[in-house]
Amino acid sequence: MRESVVPGAADRFGAEPPPALELEPKPLIPVPTPTQARFDTASGPDQLALETQSDEEQPFVVCARCRNEAGKFAQSCPTCGASFDTPEQREHNARVWAERKAQLQADRESAHQRQEAMLEDAKHQASVRHNEAVELA
Ligand SMILES: [Zn+2]
Band (pLDDT 50/70/90 cuts) for residue 53 is very low
Spacing, Cα 78 to ligand 1 middle (Å)? 7
Spacing, Cα 23 to ligand 1 middle (Å)? 78
Please classify residue 69 by burial: count the beta carbons closer than 10 Å to its beta carbon, then call 0-12 exposed, 13-18 middle and 19+ buried: middle
Spacing, Cα 133 to ligand 1 middle (Å)? 64
Mean per-residue pLDDT for 15-27?
68
Alpha helices by DSSP H, listed for the chain, are 9-13, 37-40, 45-53, 87-136
Give me the pLDDT at residue 9, please: 57
Spacing, Cα 86 to ligand 1 middle (Å)? 13
pLDDT at 28 over 80: no
Answering whether pTM is above 0.75, one says no
Spacing, Cα 104 to ligand 1 middle (Å)? 24
The HSE-up count of residue 116 (CA atoms within 13 Å, CB side) is 6
